[in-house]
């Protein structure tokens, strides 16, 4: 729990600090009505730093075991070579919320590049660290844009000991074992529509495909160097829909 | 447009399945065991020797030629009696372990030595020697009858048991089995000279191996073939030869090949009244007969007992069967092409006889006594009992009856069945 709190604090600091810097003391006018009525803004900054905050939901099909059909087989399966019978699995709609924050630099009215961090909730939490390259068609009016994000999502930074552990993958249940989630490579190509809100801000509606590798390891150790270790790897494919706001 | 959008979205979502890979690694200290076969060392069992004498414990068959009587002693060997102007005298004992059947072709004995077929030269029994040994001859059943065999590995021999050896060590997911190489070298060639007691019961004829040896004609020895067949052996001009003969063999042999019934195994084979009889055992008492009306054969079934011996009375078209407690009659069907027995009759004759044969119109039984009967369709009429004549096997040549028991071999003159006399 203490680790989680620390993570949240780090993320909060990461979000707040560059946001304050990016606005450069200018007043941000989130006047949506104006942006709709006006087709474009004059005197927008075409070069310079920008910050983007994005909230997305990642949709996809994930495997889940039917706990009702699964019964505990006892520790003898852990010490024997006999594999337990496979439980009944089913695919369910998985929705993972994602919060990211990006800082970057606009090279001109079309091209921008940046780096970001985030917090995402899959089966376990992931902390993506990524770079992005952004192309916007028109800067002064409602415009389509394309972004490619790529990087690495971090899982937990150290293993955690559990008295009892229920998993959606082998060994499904284990006691007195440690679990560590590793992240993995991520790619996040995105398209969307940018709506200028003011001289300094834009609202973005995004749709994206997300590819994310993850890895988790459960390890149970006993005397004389004996151990059992289950490695679970997933290539996650998701559709993402989100909303972002950019300050320049 | 909206519908199209939702359709695309649904397809995209359905396509967003995850690819999953699970790997299990481990390192454990385990004990693993491996069974090593123990092979039979035939050096002692296969040693066939001649000794001066040996108690006659369980005589099961008598064969004879011009000079000698040979009495098989179950699992022990063959007692040899010399003919001396009408009488006999004990000559020697040919030790042949695990013998269960034998027959004689002139001066050659064909017998089993556990699983091997052995040809012995007995022209001078005191110097009997092995002419040929056909290894594993009686252990070659195939197809659905492989379970009739005792465990055997070509090149290694009979597997009489196993030894289990346990190894303790660390196994991993990459190397899940312990290395038994050292044990393989130590225990890969275990041997013993002793057969397990559990392989043998008080009734050896019901134990494996299933042996049947029968002289047919002048020089042929019939044994069970690999599957629904005869294995016909000859030893001519120093060469041992085996021919498998089944229903499709051409030219056809004189006697129909045996049919290996399900859940039944052969117990005893003998030749009498120009008929090959095969007594078998299984879920029910069972007897299968073969005569020369190839490929016609008669099948006798008895649900309550296993037949001990059979003889055929041609004038009555009937088989007379010893059950161990009584005598049964099995009458052929009046239609000669119909091979199912037409009628079974229990004559209710209390008898523990183990041998039965026909002499003239009389049926003779031998057990703890010799009894002479006149058979008819409805009854067996006792002519005379001879309480002094007893035996477990016999042979008959014209008017001379040879009977063997634990006391030895005895000859009787059976010219007059109402006055059977011993031949001194």
The pLDDT value recorded for residue A2 is 41
For A1-11, the pLDDT digits (tens) are 344 444 444 44
The pLDDT value recorded for residue A27 is 44
Three-class DSSP labels, chain B: CHHHHHHHHHHHHHHCECEEEEEEEEEEEEEEEEEEEEEECHHHHCCCEEECCCCCCCEEEEEECCCEEEEEECCCEEEEEEEECCEEEEEEEEECCCCCCEEEECCEEEEEECCEEEEEECCCHHHCEEEEEECCCCCCCCHHHHHHCCCEECCCEEEEEEEEEEEEEEEECCCCCCCCHHHHHHHCCEEECCCCHHHCCCCHHHCCCCCCCEEECCCEEEEECCCCCEEEEEEECCEEEEEEECCCCCCCCCCCCCCCCCCEEEEEEEEECCEEEEEEEECCCEEEEECCCCCCEEEEECCCCCCCEEEEEHHHCEEEEECCCCEEEEECCCCCCCCECCEEEECCCCCCCCEEEEECCEEEEECCCEEEEEECCCCEEEEEEECCCCCCEEEEECCEEEEEECCEEEEEECCCCCCCEEEC
Closest residue in B to A64 (Cα–Cα): B18
Lowest mean pLDDT among A45-49, A61-65, B374-378, B405-409: A61-65
Mean pLDDT for all residues in chain A: 82
The pLDDT value recorded for residue A84 is 54
Asked if A169's CB is within 8 angstroms of B23's CB, the reply is: no
CA distance A4 to B22: 27
Asked if B13's CB is within 8 angstroms of A228's CB, the reply is: no
B294 vs A92: which has the higher pLDDT: A92
Please say if the pLDDT value at position A37 is more than 50.
no
Q: Looking at the structure, give the CATH architecture of the domain made up of residues A2-247.
A: Beta Barrel (2.40)
CA distance B394 to B410: 9
Asked if A79's CB is within 8 angstroms of B12's CB, the reply is: no
Residue B295: pLDDT band with limits 50, 70, 90: low
A220: closest CA of chain B, how far (Å): 9
* Domain ranges within chain A, ordered by starting residue: 2-247
- Is it true that the peptide bond before B251 is cis, omega within 30 degrees of 0? yes
Return the ∠ at Cα B111 (arms to B110 and B114), rounded to 5°: 150
Q: Which two tokens stand for residue B222?
A: 């019939």
B34: closest CA of chain A, how far (Å): 16
Which residues in chain A have Cβ-Cβ distances shorter than 8 Å to B12?
239
A211 vs A94: which has the higher pLDDT: A211
Which residues in chain A have Cβ-Cβ distances shorter than 8 Å to B170?
225-226
The pLDDT value recorded for residue B285 is 54
Q: Is B53 within 8 Å of B93 (Cβ atoms)?
A: yes
- CB-based contacts of B131-140 (< 8 A; 24+ apart in sequence): B131/B235, B131/B238, B132/B235, B132/B240, B133/B46, B134/B233, B134/B240, B134/B242, B137/B112, B137/B223, B137/B231, B137/B233, B137/B242, B138/B112, B138/B209, B138/B210, B138/B211, B138/B223, B138/B224, B139/B115, B139/B209, B140/B226, B140/B231
Q: Which two tokens stand for residue B372?
A: 């002479």
Interface of B with A in 8-37 (CB under 8 A): 9, 12-29
A137: closest CA of chain B, how far (Å): 24
The pLDDT value recorded for residue A6 is 44
Q: For residue B154, what are the contacts with CB-CB under 8 A and spacing of at least 6? A: none
A226 vs B18, B21, B29: nearest CB: B29
Order of all β-strands in the sheet with B239-245: B214-216, B220-224, B230-236, B239-245
ipTM confidence score: 0.74
The pLDDT value recorded for residue A12 is 41
| CB atoms inside a 10 Å sphere around CB B86 | 10
Which residues in chain B have Cβ-Cβ distances shorter than 8 Å to A89?
none
The pLDDT value recorded for residue A206 is 97
B169: closest CA of chain A, how far (Å): 11
Provide the number of CB pairs (under 8 Å) joining chain A to chain B: 74
Q: For residue B402, what are the contacts with CB-CB under 8 A and spacing of at least 6? A: B62, B64, B69, B88, B394, B395, B396, B409, B410, B411, B412
For A48-87, the pLDDT digits (tens) are 999 999 999 999 988 777 765 444 455 545 544 445 566 7
Give the H or E element holding residue A6: helix A2-23
Please say if the pLDDT value at position A96 is more than 50.
yes
Mean pLDDT for all residues in chain B: 91
> What residues does A148 pair with on adjacent strands?
A133, A189
The pLDDT value recorded for residue A93 is 87
The pLDDT value recorded for residue B240 is 97
pLDDT more than 70, % of chain A: 76
Residue A85 falls in which region: left (phi positive, over 0), alpha (psi -120 to 50) or beta: beta
CA distance B326 to B346: 7
For B24-65, the pLDDT digits (tens) are 999 999 999 999 999 999 999 999 999 999 999 999 999 999
Overall average pLDDT of the B80-105 stretch: 95
């Amino acid at each position: 729990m203490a680790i989680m709190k620390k993570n949240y604090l780090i993320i909060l600091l990461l979000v707040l600090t560059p946001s304050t810097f990016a606005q450069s003391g200018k007043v941000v006018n989130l006047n949506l009505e104006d942006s709709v009525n006006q087709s474009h803004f004059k005197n927008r900054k075409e070069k310079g730093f920008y910050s983007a905050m994005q909230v997305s939901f990642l949709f996809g099909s994930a495997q889940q075991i039917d706990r009702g059909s699964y019964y505990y087989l006892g520790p003898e399966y852990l010490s024997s070579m006999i594999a337990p019978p496979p439980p009944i699995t089913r695919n369910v709609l998985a929705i993972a919320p994602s919060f990211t924050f990006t800082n970057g630099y606009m090279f001109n009215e079309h091209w921008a590049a940046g780096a970001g961090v985030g917090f995402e909730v899959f089966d376990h939490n992931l902390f993506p660290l990524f770079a992005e390259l952004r192309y916007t068609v028109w800067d002064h009016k409602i415009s389509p844009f394309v972004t490619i994000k790529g990087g690495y999502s971090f899982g937990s930074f150290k293993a955690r000991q559990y008295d009892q552990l229920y998993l959606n993958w082998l060994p499904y249940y284990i006691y007195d074992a440690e679990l560590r989630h590793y992240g993995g490579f991520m790619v996040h190509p995105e398209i969307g529509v940018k709506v200028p809100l003011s001289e300094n801000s834009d609202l973005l509606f995004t749709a994206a495909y997300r590819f994310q590798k993850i890895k988790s390891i459960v390890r149970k150790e006993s005397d004389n160097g004996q151990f059992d270790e289950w490695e679970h790897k997933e290539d996650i494919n998701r559709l993402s829909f989100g909303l972002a706001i950019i300050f320049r | 447009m909206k519908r199209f959008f939702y359709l695309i979205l649904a397809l995209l979502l359905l396509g967003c399945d995850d690819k999953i890979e699970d790997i299990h690694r481990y390192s454990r200290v385990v004990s693993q065991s491996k069974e090593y076969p123990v092979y039979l060392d035939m050096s002692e069992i296969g040693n066939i020797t001649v000794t001066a004498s040996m108690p006659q414990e369980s005589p099961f068959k008598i064969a004879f030629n011009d000079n000698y009587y040979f009495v098989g002693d179950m699992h022990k060997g063959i007692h040899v009696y010399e003919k001396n102007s009408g009488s006999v005298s004990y000559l020697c004992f040919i030790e042949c372990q695990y013998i269960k059947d034998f027959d004689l072709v002139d001066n050659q004995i064909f017998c089993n030595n556990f699983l091997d077929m052995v040809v012995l030269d007995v022209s001078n029994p005191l110097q009997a020697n092995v002419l040929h040994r056909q290894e594993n001859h009686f252990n070659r059943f195939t197809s659905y009858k492989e379970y009739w065999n005792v465990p055997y590995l070509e090149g290694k021999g009979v597997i009489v048991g196993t030894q289990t050896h346990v190894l303790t060590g660390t196994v991993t997911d990459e190397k899940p089995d312990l290395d038994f190489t050292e044990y393989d070298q130590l225990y890969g060639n275990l041997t013993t000279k002793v057969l397990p007691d559990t392989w043998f019961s008080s009734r050896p004829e019901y134990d494996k191996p299933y042996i049947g040896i029968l002289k047919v004609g002048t020089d042929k020895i019939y044994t069970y073939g690999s599957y629904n067949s005869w294995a016909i052996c000859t030893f001519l001009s120093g060469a041992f030869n085996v021919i498998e003969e089944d229903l499709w063999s051409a030219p056809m042999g004189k006697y129909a090949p045996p049919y290996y019934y399900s859940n039944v195994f052969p117990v005893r084979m003998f030749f009498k009244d120009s008929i090959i009889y095969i007594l078998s055992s299984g879920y029910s008492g069972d007897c299968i007969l073969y005569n020369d009306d190839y490929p016609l054969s008669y099948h006798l079934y008895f649900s309550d007992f296993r037949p001990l011996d059979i003889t055929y009375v041609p004038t009555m078209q009937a088989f007379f069967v010893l059950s161990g407690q009584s005598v049964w009659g099995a009458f052929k069907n009046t239609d000669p092409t119909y091979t199912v027995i037409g009628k079974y009759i229990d004559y209710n004759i209390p008898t523990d006889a183990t041998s039965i044969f026909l002499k003239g119109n009389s049926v003779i039984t031998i057990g703890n006594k010799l009894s002479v009967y006149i058979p008819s369709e409805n009854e067996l009429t006792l002519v005379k009992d001879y309480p002094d004549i007893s035996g477990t096997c016999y042979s008959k040549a014209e008017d001379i009856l040879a009977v063997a028991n634990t006391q030895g071999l005895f000859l009787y003159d059976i010219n007059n069945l109402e006055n059977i006399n011993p031949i001194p």
